[in-house]
Structure formats: structure tokens, C-alpha cells
Amino acid sequence: MLQVLKKPLPPQNPLNQLGFQQICELLLSLTHSRSLPKGLQLHANIIKSGFQTLPLVSHHLINFYSKCQLPLFSRQIFHETTRKSSTTWSSLISSFAQNELPSLAIQYFRRMLGDRMLPDDHIFPSATKSCAILGRIDVGGSIHCLAVKTGYEGDVFVGSSLIDMYAKCGDLKIARKVFDEMPERNVVSWSGMIYGYTQSGEDEEALRLFKQALCADLKVNDFTFSSVLRVCGTSTLLELGKQIHGLCVKTNFDLSSFVGSALISLYSKCGVIEAAYQVFDEVRVRNLGTWNAMLIACAQHAHTDKVLDLFKELGIFGMKPNFITFLCVLYACSHAGLVEKGKYYFELMKEYGIEPGAQHYASLVDLLGRAGKLQEAVSIIEEMPVAPTESTWGALLTGCRIHGNTELAAYAADKVFELGSMSSGMHMLISNAYAAAGRWEDAAKARKTLRDLGVKKETGLSWVEVGNRVHTFTSGDRCHLRTKEIYKKLEELGEGMERAGYVADTSFVLQDLDGIEKSQKIKYHSERLAIAFGMITFPPDRPIRVMKNLRVCGDCHTAIKFMSQCSGRVIIVRDNNRFHRFEDGKCSCGDYW
């Protein structure tokens, strides 16, 4: 066993007898194993033998320190090398790009050009990758021009890196142009385009391209699978997601951490938390992203105890939580009313060297607001070391709405207006806060401001997936082919619900209507139509899963509890924030949401 040198090697040490070829082979082996102590000892021998001046040895040393995540050591080797070849430059630029130092990668790429050294098929991908990380499409465009001039644009690796750069920088038009003009495509170019479409919200195009890749008999990789699975999760396409899961298993039985995370997210967002647990158990090597995916899944499905257990296990497995991990835990505490635990985890962040950001403070305000500790929430906002964001004030507004504090809601609304531009959802939250207090004029002003800004209110939608088709409903919708059956089912349910004690709470209709109009309006909210459709479509033993883009109203939440009680059905509803599992007249959220 080689040991780290603490003094010069004695003449009889066998390392002194190593030749040039043996040194190169040993460096390659140590780079692969990332054995730093042995590498340091070999480096000392290389210096003594004088081989460090040879470009190929320098190249291997730079790669060794790069793989050991010591890119600045790589730079030191580079500067000590008197004869720098294109391989030497390539190794250093790659070291920076792979170790999250994109600015240095671009800096040395420019130095290389100034040294009249032209880039090759190894240097171009490292440079474009760095541009993608920095979002520097201007620099990336210049590198693209150079690739064209030097004849490397058609190279499969250079072309793939250009596609990835343009896609990540948001210019899908040029990315697609490069993709279409490539004489040869390997899996990286396809993955880059698919990823670009998913990031830009062009889900249909991403799925269409994925299908083309499969038809071309391309062996798609983990990155491709995870990108497409995230599309399925975002669009709640459960059946398609299941098919892709099956394809993953066929092509690679051991689920990678990336695919595993995407599958956990898919099943969670589609309301099948049991499948998410199964995937988590099947992933053999879990990275922090896998743990975070499972944590947020549990939090959104009100499995709060499991969230706290997973957080403990994470440490046992040697994983260090990051800022996303704590956001998941704070979210779980907030939606379960665990105020003291939430405060504990908020303070615990500092022990891990994580400074709470605006999102963490918004979660803390949400925790306190939902629990009715509104003045304490205001104190947190006033003492924040960072400026309160729309999310922070929105969290306070939510607490005010739940506990009927219209005066504080108006104060929070004023603060939001001071921020300038705001989302349509925030405008509606402010408008609804005024309407709930009967301040119709103020509510109308808030809506008018929204119209004047040209921002449209988001339409409330609920949808159910049957096979590979999604059935979407709006409030009072009568466009569905089975409308008569749907409304008939709602009438039947309504009669049974009334006998069981259900009385509509029309205070949740935030419009200036009379009692009868309010009662009729709330009776046909989109989620109720979707549930009725599910009841006439799915067999009795199958859960009805309804997805909704807005928060479920309080009366619908009560009504669905009665629906589950009267029908004996399991009803799972996902609103814009979390999941509600209704069974035997009870909801998994414990009426705390």
C-alpha cells in the first residue's frame, strides 16, 4: 500500500523506478478510484523524476485532481506545465466545468484562444456547458460561431452540447435548428431537446420527441427518462407515466436516483402515494434529491409522522439536508399545525450551516398564520433579514382569511401592493379577503386592477384521467357528453347528503348574490362534477382521483366528506397545495389545511 509522503522518498523506494508509461497507467487507475493519498505520493515521485513537464503527465494530473474535486490544484499543475498542448487546456477547462466553476472555464477558454490554440471536440462541450450554467447565451452563441468556423458544429458531442446550452438558456428555436441539422444524433442531443421542452412548459412537444426517439430505436438514458416522467407528473398523466415506468424497468432494472426521484414525484402528484413509497424502497442508491422527493410527497399527502421519520433516517444514512429538505419539513409542520416542531426545524437549519431564505421565512409565517398566531407572524416578517416577498405576505393573508382577521388582511394587502407587480393569484387572494368581510367595493377594485393590468383570473378546473384521456370540468359545466348522468348522480348524492346532515355553507361564494343563487352556484363546483363523473365511470373498489388547479373551497371540502360517507367511496382530491383523501366521512388533512 502506498502511503502519503511525509518526507522525500529514499533511493530504494520502488516508485523511483517507475517509467513514463507506468506512471501514466497508475495515474489513470488512481483517477478512477479517486484515491487522494496515493495520488499525492505518486505526484511527489513525478516531481522528483522530472516527468511533470511532459504534457501527457500534466493532463493526467489535472484530471486526477479534478476527479478528487480539487480544481484549483488542477490549475496549479496547468501553470507549472511549460509545454501546454490542446489536451492540457482541455483537461483544465473540463476540470472547471465539472467542479461548478463555470466562470473560470470561460475565462481560460478565452485565454486559450488568445494563446492561438484552437478548441477541439473535447473543449467545446466544456465551454458550452459552462455557458448553460451561467445562462450566458451571448457567449454560447459566440462559441457556436467558432464551432461552425472550425468545422466542429456537425460533431455529435459538440452539437449535443450546443443543443443543451440553447435549451437551458431558453432559446428552443435555435436548439431545435441545431438538432434538426445534425448529421448524427446520439442520446445526449435528444435528451437536451426533451429537457428544454419540459423546462419551457411545452409538454406535448417533449412527449412527441420522446416518442420519436423510441421509434428511432434510441437507447434513452436516465436523464431522458427523468425529464419525460416529470412531464407526466406535472400534467398528472398517470397511465402514460406507468407505461414509461415499465419501460424503465425493461431497459435498466436498477432504478437510478434521478429516475427514482422523478417516479416518486409522478406517483405523488397523481395521488398514488403507495406507489411512491414502493419506488423509494426500490432505489438502491439514493441521492439527496430522492430523499427530498419522498419528503415532499409525504408532506403533501399529510403523512407528517413519516416526514419526521424520514428526516431522522436521512442523517442515519449519512446524508446532509439542504435548504429544500428543510422547506419540505416546514411545509409538513405548517399543514399539520405543529408550531413548536416547525420552529425547532427552522432553528436547526443554522446548525447545518444553512441561512434561512425568503422561502423558509414564508413557510414559518404560513405555519404561524394557519395556527392563528397572526401577531407573531407579523413580528417574524418585521424582523426578517431579507425583504418580505409576495409569498411571505400571501402566507399572512392566508392566515388572516382562515381566522377572519380582515383588518390585518387589509394591512397585508397594502404591503403587497407596495411591491408593485403581483400574480393573478395574489390579486384574487386580496379580492377574496375583502369579499369575505363583505367589503364588496374593495373587492371590486382589486378585480378591476387585475383587469386593467390585462391579467386574466385563472379559471377553476378539475379533471379526472380515464385510460389515456383526461376529462376536464369547470364550475357549472354542461359540455361533457355524459352531462345528464353527471348531474343526475349529483342530485342523488345531494339527497343522501342532506339526510346525513349536510347543509351548504354559502359564505364561500364570494360574490354579491342572493341565497338561492349562491346555493345553486356552490352545488356545481368543478370538483363535484368531476367526482360525480368518477362515480359513474370507475368501479366501486377503485379510488376516484380528482386534480384541481385552485384551492378547494371550505364547503366543497365538507360536501366531499359527506359524499365519501354516503357512497362508501375513497375520493382523493389534489388542489393547488396538497392532497385530501376522503374516506368514511373523514379527510386525511384533519380539516386543517
Residues 389 and 482 in one domain: no
Query: Does one domain contain both 555 and 523?
Result: yes
Number of folded domains that form the chain? 2
Residue 462 CB coordination number (10 Å): 28
**Is 444 part of a structural domain of the chain?**
yes
The verdict on residue 547 lying in a domain is: yes
pLDDT tens per residue, range 265-296 = 999 999 999 999 999 999 988 999 999 999 99
Span of 21-30, 79-88, 407-416, 480-489 with lowest mean pLDDT: 21-30
Residue with cell 435548428: 177
Same domain, 486 and 563: yes
Strand 469-473 versus strand 462-466 pairing type: antiparallel
Res 469 pLDDT > 80:
yes
Domain boundary among 408, 433, 458: 458
Residues 554 and 569 in one domain: yes
Q: What is the pLDDT of residues 136-179, one digit of tens each?
A: 999 999 999 999 998 888 788 888 889 889 988 888 899 898 88
pLDDT class of 6 with cuts at 50, 70, 90: very low
Q: Are 470 and 573 members of one domain?
A: yes
The CATH number of whichever domain residue 436 belongs to comes to 1.25.40
In-domain check, residue 163: no
Query: Is residue 469 located within the same domain as residue 583?
Result: yes
Q: Where residue 50 falls among pLDDT bands split at 50, 70, 90? A: confident
- Domain contains 393: yes
Do 481 and 410 lie in one domain? The reply is no
Query: What's the average model confidence in pLDDT over 43-58?
Result: 79
Same structural domain for residues 437 and 547?
Answer: no
In a domain, 466, yes or no: yes
| 458, 481, 502 - which closes a domain | 458
The verdict on residue 77 lying in a domain is: no
Do the domain assignments include residue 426?
A: yes
Does residue 414 belong to any structural domain of this protein? yes
Q: Domain end: 413, 430, 458, which one?
A: 458
Domain ranges, residue 398: 377-458
Judge if 534 and 471 occupy the same domain. yes
At residue 256, the pLDDT reads 86
Backbone angles phi, psi at 465, to 5 degrees: -100, 130
In 352-499, alpha helices (H): 358-370, 374-383, 390-403, 406-418, 424-436, 440-452, 483-499
Same domain (yes/no): 435, 541 = no
Q: How far apart are CA 321 and CA 307, in angstroms?
A: 13
Same domain as 426, residue 413 = yes
Give the number of C-alpha atoms closer than 13 A to the C-alpha of residue 252, restricted to the C-beta side: 18
Could you tell me if 476 and 581 lie in one domain?
A: yes
The chain-wide mean pLDDT, for the chain, equals 86
Instruction: Determine the 3-state secondary structure of 463 from DSSP.
Output: strand
- In 3D space, the residue among 171, 170, 161 whose CA is nearest the CA of residue 191 turns out to be 161
